[in-house]
């Protein structure tokens, strides 16, 4: 949009066809914001968005809000407001396969409209990153480390036979003031959950 510091694309829709569900879980969506120029377009920054919650049958299929735009050298550059929707088209057999390959994360002990069928035990992962001078970059690195922890815990949960992690928490340890290392630990309880007999999956997917 020409000569505008606050552009609005109300009618712009970008569609992407993705074959593998794991691609949405493994890789966050990166939205690159560019500044159009005569000679070449310059990168203002990018927003990094985790789409894995939208793929789960235990969550909604849409998210919206303002996401920070971060540049690797300049840090925070502003925000971009987006609405993101995941539409899954597949036959019944493929849907069953998806249900068996996705993991949902809940901060609560007992998710609403769901019941715990089996408890497998503790799942956890630890990531260590190095702090830099730019605090905006530190936030992005923390966010990426958090996504990596969830992906690794999700894979462990599937191997144990579960489909969800309840009472999920993440803790951050900045160690000493002299150290530039930051430790991020994620942990929760691996379980297998199912819908209550009196509930319907349609209630969760409006």
Provide the residue ranges of all domains of the chain, joining segments of one domain with +: 103-203
Round to whole Å and give the CA distance between 89 and 81: 26
pLDDT band of 186, cuts 50, 70, 90:
very high
Predicted pLDDT at 127: 92
- In terms of DSSP H, where are the helices of 37-134? 52-55, 92-99
CA atoms within 13 A on the CB side of 82: 21
Residues 6+ apart with CB under 8 A from 127: 145, 148, 149, 183, 184, 185
CA distances from 67 to 12, 30, 110, 149, 175 (A): 17, 11, 29, 21, 29
Take residue 197 and report the two structure tokens written for it. Answer: 């007999």
54-96: pLDDT as tens digits: 765 555 577 888 888 888 677 778 888 888 887 765 544 444 4
CA distances from 33 to 11, 42, 49 (A): 17, 9, 14
The architecture of the domain spanning 103-203 is 2-Layer Sandwich (3.30)
Say yes or no to pLDDT of 10 above 60.
Answer: yes
The verdict on pTM exceeding 0.75 is no
Say yes or no to pLDDT of 19 above 90.
Answer: no
Predicted pLDDT at 95: 40
Q: Minimum mean pLDDT among 31-35, 116-120, 155-159, 185-189: which range?
A: 31-35
The DSSP bridge pattern shows strands 104-105 and 164-173 to be: parallel
Is residue 86 within 8 Å of residue 57, measured between CB atoms?
Answer: no
Predicted pLDDT at 44: 84
What average pLDDT does the chain have? 76
pLDDT band of 160, cuts 50, 70, 90:
very high
Is residue 170 within 8 Å of residue 152, measured between CB atoms?
Answer: no
Predicted pLDDT at 188: 94
* Burial degree of 122 (CB within 10 A; 0-12, 13-18, 19+): exposed
């Amino acid at each position: 949009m020409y000569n505008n510091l606050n552009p609005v694309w109300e009618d712009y829709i970008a569609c992407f066809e993705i074959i593998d569900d794991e691609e949405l879980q493994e890789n966050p969506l990166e939205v690159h914001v560019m500044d159009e120029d005569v000679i070449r377009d310059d990168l203002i920054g990018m927003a990094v968005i985790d789409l894995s919650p939208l793929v789960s049958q235990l969550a909604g299929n849409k998210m919206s809000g303002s996401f920070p735009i971060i540049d690797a050298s300049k840090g925070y550059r502003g925000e971009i407001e987006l609405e993101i929707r995941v539409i899954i088209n597949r036959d019944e057999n493929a849907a069953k396969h998806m249900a068996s390959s996705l993991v949902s994360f809940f901060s609560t002990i007992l998710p609403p409209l769901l019941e715990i069928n089996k408890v497998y035990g503790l799942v956890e992962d630890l990531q260590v990153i190095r702090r830099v001078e730019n605090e905006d970059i530190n936030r992005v690195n923390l966010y990426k480390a958090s996504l990596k922890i969830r992906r690794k815990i999700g894979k462990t949960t599937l191997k144990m036979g579960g489909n969800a992690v309840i009472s999920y928490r993440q803790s951050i340890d900045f160690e000493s003031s002299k150290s530039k290392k930051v430790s991020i630990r994620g942990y929760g309880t691996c379980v297998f959950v199912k819908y209550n007999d009196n509930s319907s999956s349609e209630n969760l997917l409006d």
